[in-house]
């Protein structure tokens, strides 16, 4: 196959063959790609299921991210949702819409990225769909197995619980700002934007530790914790002092300052988006599991407080109008 | 809410609220929309899962199909894949990508169509995603429960089996041709194109009756039976005499003749596409279940024969280049 080939020249069936051949075997998949539907083991008698769409120009740019990165990110953000329920990621279904003139090498890179992130999360690809479209658009459904655990929802936080996070906060948004400004900044930031590395195993770990509420931080920490506050009818009180920015974030902020960026490390951590860290609430008496660190407490009231002040929610509205104050 | 509102004006969270409020309760859904992921019952300890993408201008046109029709079609084609495995449809996850200026009424109509088809199939919507995009693009994942049945794959057809179909063949493609030609033809055809009505219950019924192979006829009968022939390493021999076109199809063909259309009823039935009928093979000694009718037999050899001649596969390549001879 010529490297310069396009997916239109390959045709649907050859493209599907390339995207599905040599998939890693998985004990979770009883019937993989190639039939009307996949058959996946669900030993728990419950299946956890989540779907995300990624649209070129909105969720990724082909000039900022490689096909491999987009594949990794597509898998990562969906498996992070599974982990945030306390479940083990099992499989992905992947819908791939693309123009006929897309280089076949881009599809190959995307497929390799998906598989790399599947390997990191312990899952595999069980099926999907390939269609033509003017814009590269990727739909991913992730499934997971609770292994007997109670699913950790958003509505279980109780007054007095500790609020804690695990994973990288702020790096992805700072990385995006660096890329937008054309600044060659810390790879820890730009890499995190191109392919987040969610702490998958810490979702089930938190569930086992008694987490009362949990979610994947995807739209900005304050906005996402606002969902826990609203669903649980509590207030979440954070302190900026507890946020402890990573060194790479401090470095990125210093570099961005020169290009007129006014956001500081705490801003990126509180409202950045696309972190794919996990945030959860835990009963105060049991301490926190390893790799989780405390950022606040659950109080009576409503909304999210930062250093005692109600936080304006500056997260993402997904119709492309950027960060938006919704309250 | 003003009728003239757009989804951009509603914003992501209000749009999600409109798309998810008042969903019919379902015994299959343990946790519905609003958390990181849905939790769905899988009593069989296996889950059947399928995904399709629908792209505006490729799979539907807003001037030919109402939002309600697109919603019905999106649900139908996915639940048909579940039924074709011999499983009972349970839930959908629905990804909805659309421009901010899409009328909110279109999103409402789409949601209503999804729910109408869910009611027909016995499923419900358990989750999804809403994002911005330049083109309306819909991703649907359907899940289903095998209820203890062996999944009916494509690779089980045996020499001597009967080949049979149930559902409407050719009507959808004839309906599309009528719409393209601007001819006011039989509603049975144009309606079938706008919202196919797959015979969901006949999938599990066929499995219980011992079907050896089965699939959803979506890309044209000959092309799809070619998948069974290839996977099962057999030939499938059809006779046009057995196809028995519905009266509405004969009427549509007569009307289309005047606009220069050269395809006859058998052409639409053999290569039309988007039928969402079911085709299956059955052991010859057990007869056929109700509502299935025989169209051929499984023989030694390869490929699909029509009246003894190898059939050129004229089905769909999904990169938008239309019907295409692939063999």
Look-up of token digits 């095998």: B146
Q: Is residue B319 within 8 angstroms of chain A, CB to CB? A: yes
From residue B7, give the alpha-carbon distance in Å to each of B13, B35, B60, B253: 10, 22, 20, 40
* pLDDT averaged over every residue in chain A: 92
In SS3 terms, B43-106 reads as CCCEEEEEEEEEEECCCECCCCCCHHHHHHHHHHHHHHHHHCCCCEEEEEEEEEEECCCCEHHH
Question: How high is the pLDDT of residue B2?
Answer: 47
Q: Do A132 and B55 make contact, defined as CB atoms within 8 angstroms?
A: yes
Look-up of token digits 């290839």: B230
Question: How high is the pLDDT of residue A323?
Answer: 42
CA angle B69, B73, B78 (to 5 degrees): 160
Q: Is residue A42 within 8 angstroms of chain B, CB to CB? A: yes
Q: Is residue B215 within 8 angstroms of chain A, CB to CB? A: yes
Q: Indicate whether A318 pLDDT > 70.
A: no
In SS3 terms, B265-279 reads as HHHHHHHCCCCCEEE
Terminal CA-CA length for chain B: 54
- Chain A residue closest in CA terms to B278: A36
Q: Is residue B313 within 8 angstroms of chain A, CB to CB? A: no
- List of residues 6+ apart from A114 with CB closer than 8 A: A71, A72, A74, A75, A92, A94, A125
CA B181, B184, B186, B192 dihedral sign is positive
Interface confidence, given as ipTM, is 0.92
Q: Is residue B208 within 8 angstroms of chain A, CB to CB? A: no
Q: Do B152 and B211 meet the contact criterion of CB atoms below 8 Å apart?
A: yes
C-alpha B23/C-alpha B33 separation (Å) is 10
Each residue's pLDDT tens digit, A18-72: 899 888 889 999 999 999 999 999 999 999 999 999 999 998 889 888 999 999 9
Closest CA to A251 of A319, A167, A324, A174: A174
Question: For chains A and B, what is the number of CB pairs under 8 angstroms?
Answer: 241
Q: Do A53 and B137 make contact, defined as CB atoms within 8 angstroms?
A: yes
Q: Do B7 and B100 meet the contact criterion of CB atoms below 8 Å apart?
A: yes
Q: Do B178 and B190 meet the contact criterion of CB atoms below 8 Å apart?
A: yes
Residues of chain B short of pLDDT 70, as ranges, are 1-3, 313-327
Question: How high is the pLDDT of residue A21?
Answer: 86
- For the stretch A261-265, contacts whose Cβ atoms lie closer than 8 Å and that sit 24 or more positions apart, written own/partner, are A261/A177, A261/A181, A263/A177, A265/A170
Question: How high is the pLDDT of residue A150?
Answer: 97
Q: Do B310 and B303 meet the contact criterion of CB atoms below 8 Å apart?
A: yes
C-alpha B201/C-alpha B88 separation (Å) is 8
C-alpha A106/C-alpha A104 separation (Å) is 5
From residue A4, give the alpha-carbon distance in Å to each of A102, A105, A266, B319: 10, 8, 45, 18
Indicate the length of chain B as a whole number: 327
Question: How high is the pLDDT of residue A154?
Answer: 97
How many CB atoms lie under 10 A from the CB of residue A283?
A: 14
Q: Indicate whether A194 pLDDT > 60.
A: yes
Q: How far is CA A307 from the centre of its chain?
A: 27
CA angle B175, B180, B181 (to 5 degrees): 100
Question: How high is the pLDDT of residue B74?
Answer: 95
Task: Answer yes or no: is A160 a known binding residue.
Answer: no
Residues 98-117 of B with CB under 8 A from A: 100
Of B48, B54, B317, the CB nearest to A12: B317
Q: Is residue A46 within 8 angstroms of chain B, CB to CB? A: yes
Q: How far is B50 from chain A (nearest CA, A)?
A: 5
Question: How high is the pLDDT of residue B319?
Answer: 61
How many CB atoms lie under 10 A from the CB of residue B159?
A: 13
Q: Indicate whether A313 pLDDT > 90.
A: no
Q: Do B268 and B222 meet the contact criterion of CB atoms below 8 Å apart?
A: no
Q: Do A79 and A204 meet the contact criterion of CB atoms below 8 Å apart?
A: no
Q: How far is A28 from chain B (nearest CA, A)?
A: 9
Question: How high is the pLDDT of residue B321?
Answer: 46
Q: Do B49 and A143 make contact, defined as CB atoms within 8 angstroms?
A: yes
Given the DSSP bridges, would you call strands B293-299 and B309-310 parallel, antiparallel or unpaired? unpaired
Q: Indicate whether A212 pLDDT > 50.
A: yes
Q: Please report residues of B whose CB lies closer than 8 A to that of A46.
A: 30, 39-42
Q: Do A320 and B132 make contact, defined as CB atoms within 8 angstroms?
A: yes
Q: Is residue A126 within 8 angstroms of chain B, CB to CB? A: yes
Question: How high is the pLDDT of residue A316?
Answer: 55
Task: Answer yes or no: is A324 a known binding residue.
Answer: no
Question: How high is the pLDDT of residue A273?
Answer: 85
Q: Please report residues of B whose CB lies closer than 8 A to that of A52.
A: 95, 129
Q: How far is CA A262 from the centre of its chain?
A: 26
Each residue's pLDDT tens digit, A57-111: 998 889 888 999 999 999 999 999 999 999 999 999 999 999 999 999 999 999 9
Q: Do B55 and A133 make contact, defined as CB atoms within 8 angstroms?
A: yes
Residues 5-24 of A with CB under 8 A from B: 7-8, 11-13
Q: How far is A198 from chain B (nearest CA, A)?
A: 14
B237 membership: H or E segment, kind and range? strand B235-238
Q: How far is A168 from chain B (nearest CA, A)?
A: 18
Q: Please report residues of B whose CB lies closer than 8 A to that of A100.
A: 319-321
CA angle B268, B273, B277 (to 5 degrees): 95
Question: How high is the pLDDT of residue A317?
Answer: 63
In SS3 terms, chain A reads as CCCCCEHHHHCHHHHHHHHHCCCCCCCCEEECECECCEEEECCCCEEEEEEEEEEECCCECCCCCCHHHHHHHHHHHHHHHHHCCCCEEEEEEEEEEECCCCEHHHHHHHHHHHHHHHHHHCCEEEEEEEEECCCCEEEEEEEEECCCCCCCCCCCCCCCCEEEEECCCCHHHHHHHHHHHCCCCCHHHHHHHHCCCCCCCHHHHHHHCCCCEEEEECCCHHHHHHHHHHHHCCEEEECHHHHCCCHHHHHHHHHHHCCCCCCCHHHHHHHCCCCCEEEEEECHHHCCCCCCEEEEEEECCCEEEECCEECCCEEECCCCCCEEECC
| Dihedral of the alpha carbons of B217, B220, B221, B226, in degrees to the nearest 10 | -100
Residues 238-297 of A with CB under 8 A from B: none
Question: How high is the pLDDT of residue B324?
Answer: 39
Spans of all domains in chain A: 7-145, 162-325
Q: Please report residues of B whose CB lies closer than 8 A to that of A94.
A: 51
Written as six digits, the tokens of B6 are 């757009």
B24 DSSP 8-state letter: P
Question: How high is the pLDDT of residue B239?
Answer: 96
Q: Is B285 helix (H, G, I), strand (E, B) or coil?
A: helix
Q: Do B93 and A128 make contact, defined as CB atoms within 8 angstroms?
A: no
CATH pick for B7-145 out of 3.40.50.620, 3.40.718.10, 3.30.1330.10, 3.40.50.300: 3.30.1330.10
Phi-psi region of A148 (alpha: psi -120 to 50; beta: other; left: phi over 0): left
Q: How far is A75 from chain B (nearest CA, A)?
A: 14
A20: number of CA atoms within 13 Å, CB side? Answer: 22
Task: Answer yes or no: is A292 a known binding residue.
Answer: no
B30 membership: H or E segment, kind and range? strand B29-31
Given the DSSP bridges, would you call strands A235-238 and A303-306 parallel, antiparallel or unpaired? parallel
Question: How high is the pLDDT of residue B236?
Answer: 98
Each residue's pLDDT tens digit, B39-87: 999 999 999 999 999 999 998 889 888 999 999 999 999 999 999 999 9
Terminal CA-CA length for chain A: 54
Span A125-152, average pLDDT: 96
Q: Is residue B59 within 8 angstroms of chain A, CB to CB? A: yes
Q: Do A54 and A74 meet the contact criterion of CB atoms below 8 Å apart?
A: yes
CATH pick for B162-325 out of 3.40.50.150, 3.90.650.10, 2.60.40.10, 3.30.70.20: 3.90.650.10
DSSP per position, B164-213: EEES--SHHHHHHHHHHHT----HHHHHHHHS----TTHHHHHHHTT-SE
Closest CA to B93 of B106, B78, B82, B104: B78
Of A11, A84, A319, the CB nearest to B12: A319
């Amino acid at each position: 196959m010529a490297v310069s080939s396009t997916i239109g020249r390959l045709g649907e069936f050859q493209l599907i063959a390339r995207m599905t051949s040599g998939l890693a075997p998985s004990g979770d998949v009883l019937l993989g790609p190639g039939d009307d539907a996949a058959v996946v083991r669900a030993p728990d008698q419950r299946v956890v299921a989540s779907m995300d769409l990624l649209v070129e120009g909105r969720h990724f740019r082909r000039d900022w991210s490689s096909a491999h990165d987009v594949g990794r990110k597509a898998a990562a953000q969906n498996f992070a949702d599974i982990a945030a329920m306390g479940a083990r990621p099992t499989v992905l279904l992947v819908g791939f819409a693309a123009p006929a003139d897309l280089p076949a090498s881009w599809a190959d890179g995307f497929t390799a990225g998906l598989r790399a992130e599947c390997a990191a999360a312990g899952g595999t690809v069980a099926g999907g769909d390939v269609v033509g479209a003017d814009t590269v658009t990727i739909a991913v459904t992730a499934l997971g197995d609770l292994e007997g655990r109670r699913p950790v929802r958003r509505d279980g936080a109780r007054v007095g619980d500790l609020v804690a996070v695990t994973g990288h906060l702020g790096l992805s948004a700072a990385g995006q700002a660096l890329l937008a400004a054309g600044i060659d900044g810390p790879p820890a930031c730009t890499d995190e934007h191109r392919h987040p590395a969610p702490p998958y195993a810490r979702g089930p770990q938190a569930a086992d530790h008694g987490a009362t509420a949990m979610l994947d931080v995807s739209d900005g920490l304050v906005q996402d914790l606002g969902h826990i506050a609203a669903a649980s009818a509590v207030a979440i009180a954070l302190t900026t002092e507890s946020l402890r920015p990573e060194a790479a974030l401090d470095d990125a902020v210093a570099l961005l300052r020169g290009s007129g960026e006014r956001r500081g490390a705490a801003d990126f951590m509180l409202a950045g988006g696309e972190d794919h860290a996990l945030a959860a609430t835990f009963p105060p008496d049991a301490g926190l599991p390893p790799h989780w660190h405390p950022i606040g407490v659950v109080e009576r009231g409503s909304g999210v407080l930062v250093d005692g002040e109600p936080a304006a929610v500056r997260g993402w509205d997904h119709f492309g109008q950027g960060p938006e104050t919704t309250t």
